[in-house]
Amino acid sequence: MAFIIDALSWACLILGSFLGISGAIGIFSFKEFYSRVQAASVTDTLCVFFIMLGLILQAGFTLISVKLILAVFLLWLTGPLATHALVRSAYLTGLKPKLSITRKEAAKRGQS
Amino acid sequence: MPYRYLLIIGLTIFWLLLSGYWTNPLILALGAASVALATWMAMRIEKKYAFKDKGVAMLLRQHTFWPWIFTEIIKSNISVLKCIWMPKTYPISPIIRQLKMQPQSRIARTLYANSITLTPGTVSVEVRDQEVLVYALLEEAMEDLEGGEMGKRVHKLEGDN
Amino acid sequence: MFAVTCLAILVVMGIALARAFIGPTIYDRILAVNMFGTKTVLFIAVYGFLTERPEFLDIALIYALINFVGVIVVLKFVERYPPSSAHSDE
């Protein structure tokens, strides 16, 4: 039983690390600010969740687990707020995103 | 005023869980003082921006919303991961668009905009009265949002006014 | 196992720092610093387990809050006094 929980928590930690590294690669390889925000958002949500889940599985039913759950809750609550504030102030101060042509517009251009 | 009592109960539980010392009278007294101070400050804020009890009712109604938003987060995480690792086969198609908001009350609109930002791939850029400006990394994500599933679910949380 | 996770988080933090150094816009830097802060919270938590001192979690919780407040304050400042080179691509 202990072995299964250990294996599960290791899997969670590895998955979380993988997600974190993918987010880091995303933040490095995307060409533009608004796209990088999305890559950072990956590490803010599931990476946090899986690493904390791995730690919770290790800790079991203790106060430590409660604190870990609280940490996930706090990060998930403050993460989107900070992201929204960041993107909003970037947009309002005039940083324009590079947009692709949508399918509808492409169809319109094809017709005309 | 049930909101005040809920706040006191919640803060007390919060303090007890975080401190872990449940028998030391000095620490318990400090905790009571902190709870009183925090409640007093929250009451002062409430005088200015009157909260309704609706928020509490919403929290109780959220049992189907949280699992749903969690599956959405996993799905959108996978789609963004594809864009990161295989940019050739899954090219990004950034798009920005103004969306109408179905939720009416202030707290529901906050929750909606927060949910949009929390799911990777979409981020709410600016919130005006009944509209939200959304940036999406993928056109499909924007189409999902325009489908209004998330808006409907948040709207349902509000219940009947 | 915790050591591997620690290492991975350190790598992520390093890349985030690199992005903070290159920029190019000031918002990229703030984004990177925000991500760095989130990863610091995770790192403190995992490090607490690695050294078997889970009291570190309290520090992680406080750090999460301070990181959030710090980012908001910096954003407020940048929004009010935009640096002249805020949107240059270089």
Residue A70 at interface with chain C, using a CB cutoff of 8 Å: yes
C90 domain residue, yes or no:
no
How much is the pTM?
0.85
Last residue of a domain, one of B51, B70, B90: B51
What does each C-alpha distance from B74 to B78, B121, B142 come to in angstroms? Answer: 6, 11, 16
C76 domain residue, yes or no:
yes
**Residue B28 sits in the same domain as residue B97:** no
C51 domain residue, yes or no:
yes
Show the domain range for A50.
2-111
Token pair for C23: 């920029």
Query: What total of structural domains would you count in chain B?
Result: 2
Token pair for C26: 């000031």
**CA atoms of A73 and B60, how far apart (whole Å):** 17
Show the domain range for B11.
2-51
Query: What total of structural domains would you count in chain A?
Result: 1
Residue appearing with tokens 């007294």: B29
β-sheet bridge partners, residue B126: B133
Sheet holding B95-100, edge to edge: B95-100, B131-136, B122-127
Q: How many A/C residue pairs have CB atoms within 8 Å? A: 131
**Residue B30 sits in the same domain as residue B70:** no
pLDDT digits (tens, 9 = 90+) for A29-85: 888 888 888 888 888 888 999 999 999 988 888 888 888 888 898 888 888 899 999
How far does the CA of residue B8 sit from the closest CA of chain A (Å)? 18
The CB-based long-range contact list for B147-151 (8 Å cut-off, 24+ gap) reads B148/B102, B150/B69, B150/B72, B150/B112, B150/B115, B150/B116, B151/B101, B151/B102, B151/B103, B151/B112
Question: If you average pLDDT over residues B6-28, what whole number do you get?
Answer: 86
Last residue of a domain, one of B10, B29, B51: B51
Nearest to C5, CA basis, from B147, A58, B29, B132: A58
Question: If you average pLDDT over residues A87-99, what whole number do you get?
Answer: 81
**Residue B64 sits in the same domain as residue B44:** no
| Binary contact (B92, A35; C-beta < 8 A) | yes
pLDDT digits (tens, 9 = 90+) for C23-51: 788 888 999 999 999 999 999 999 998 88
Q: How many A/B residue pairs have CB atoms within 8 Å? A: 100
Show the domain range for C46.
2-80
Residue of A nearest to C76 (CA): A89
Mutate to test the interface with A, among C19, C30, C34 (most CBs of A within 10 A): C34
pLDDT at residue C79, rounded to an integer: 82
| Binary contact (C61, A23; C-beta < 8 A) | no
**Residue B88 sits in the same domain as residue B127:** yes
Higher pLDDT, A102 or B43: B43
C31 domain residue, yes or no:
yes
**Residue B61 sits in the same domain as residue B36:** no
| Chain B residues inside the 8 Å CB shell of A19 | 77, 81
Residue of A nearest to B13 (CA): A66
Confidence of residue B99 (pLDDT cuts 50, 70, 90): confident
Which segment of A101-105, B133-137, C65-69 scores lowest on mean pLDDT? Answer: A101-105
Query: What total of structural domains would you count in chain C?
Result: 1
| Chain B residues inside the 8 Å CB shell of A96 | none
From A21, A71, A79, residue closest to C45, measured CB to CB? A71
